[in-house]
Amino acid sequence: MGHDSQPSCPKARQKVLAQLSNKQIAPPKVFGDISAADLMDSAFLSYNGGRLREAGQLLATRMTSEETTLGLSLSGALTPAGLGMSCLVPLIEAGFIDWIVSTGANIYHDSHFALGMSLHQSRPGLDDLLLRENQVIRIYDIIFEYDNLLGTDSFFRAMARSKPFQTTLSSAEFHHLAGGVLAKREEENGLVGKSFLAAAHRAGVPVFTSSPGDSSIGMNLAALQLEGNGLQIDPLKDVNQSAAIVWQAKRKGQSGVWILGGGSPKNFMLQTEPQIQEVLGLEESGHDYFLQITDARPDTGGLSGATPQEAMTWGKVDPEQLPGTVTCYLDSTVALPLLTAYTLARAKPRKHKRLIEKLPALMEQLKESYLASKKK
């Protein structure tokens, strides 16, 4: 009959309840003057609301502690919706984000704002043929002029033709240089704080892209290659630099990953641990903290890199740290502003780690560890 044939005693039931939960569901009334952080703590109790509350608490405590190096992966069209300036810039300025993996598209569209271009709120279901005839571009319910693309293309081509770019760079090194140019444009145009890439430059935050050719930036750099331009993006250097960041983080403290969406940026961020363990043969146990915001499902193969439990089998997540993992099935455009408000309200700003400036030393440490392991 199973083990429910005999009722358990009240003391046993209370013991089980105490082990699984220390708080009853009895939230206070919600009023209009409540802060986002207080709302999440008091009213986001169950289902994905509960997971979002757990995500905020994990972020504001262990993932943004001084000992944790926190990486953020970005997929989906987040920056065209203004989430770069509203959320990513404050998080970077507060020292909460130490390194980033982004789609090239998020970086490209982020650049519009630093260049003084405008994007506009609209609605889905517009007449796309009419938009095409009037040279208006649509990203779901965001619209902007086609000239924005032409102007941003021109900016990247002119910048990449300049002397500092005539060499082989990792995508993080390229974006650091590009972020410096955008930061200067922001200052000239009175637009400081509009671009997360410019903010990352100021804070020394490395910004990688896992697919350098898969964006308008990569398309323009490919055109320059046909001209004989000296710029080359080295994706293999990206693999080693990102692994070096995580290798040093785990030797000195903890490593946390915050994943918005999935796709290539998620996998690139998580593959740092298999690179260290499986490929380089170095002793490691996986990322300590794993926070994922996604609307994909694992059973269709669409949840890139899958759940933290599955990622554990690849060595991507430390099995002893599974309590430090949260997966929230929610749209990133809903979760990111709430998590930003929560973290800024609950956590103290941190000193910037300025990892972009430490990459050469981190790479040397990884190389030394790898070569030493091969001699054993």
Q: How far is CA 190 from the centre of its chain?
A: 27
291 token code pair: 């926070």
Let me know how long the chain is.
376
Q: Are 316 and 62 in contact (CB under 8 A)?
A: no
Backbone angles phi, psi at 107, to 5 degrees: -70, -45
DSSP state letters, 102-159? E-HHHHHHHHHHHTT---EE--SS--HHHHHHTTEEEETTEEEEHHHHHHHHHHHHHH
Q: Does residue 316 carry a catalytic annotation?
A: yes
In single-letter form, the type of residue at position 216 comes to: S
Rounded to the nearest 10°, the torsion over CA 104, 108, 109, 112 is: 170
Largest interatomic CA distance in the chain: 80
Which amino acid, one-letter code, is at 145?
E
Running DSSP on this structure, what letter comes out for residue 204?
A: T
Which listed residue (194, 250, 266, 316) is catalytic? 316
Identify each DSSP E strand in the chain by its residue range: 68-74, 99-102, 120-121, 136-139, 142-145, 168-169, 207-209, 232-233, 254-260, 289-294, 325-329
Q: Cα separation of 296 and 331, whole Å?
A: 10
Residues assigned a catalytic role: 316
